[in-house]
Amino acid sequence: MKVVNVSLRHMFSEKHQGTANSLMRMGSVMQTLSINLINASQIFSLSSINRHSFHLLVTTISRKWPSCKCTTLWI
């Protein structure tokens, strides 16, 4: 399977629908999506993360691409 590493920096600057649309455009190359919050914390501070929003994003990805493996690691 291909693993696509997605930078989360731009995702949280958009509204959820915009993010979902951006991800759908990438959908043809996405087979596995692994989101690791520890890596994400190196990109932006944890204080800027709205956990509900992050959960909603992961849920949206899972529904759009049921074959995706979404791993959320809370710290």
Domain ranges of the chain: 11-64
Binned at pLDDT 50, 70 and 90, residue 60 comes out as: confident
Give the model confidence (pLDDT) of 34-49 as tens digits: 445 445 545 544 445 5
pLDDT in tens, 2-38: 444 444 444 444 445 555 556 555 544 444 444 454 4
Per-residue three-class SS string for 9-31:
CCHHHCCHHHHHHHHHHHHHHCC
pLDDT of residue 31: 41
In whole angstroms, give the CA distance from residue 52 to residue 54. 5
Q: Using a cut of 0.95, tell me whether the model's pTM lies above it.
A: no
Residue 1 has pLDDT above 50, yes or no: no
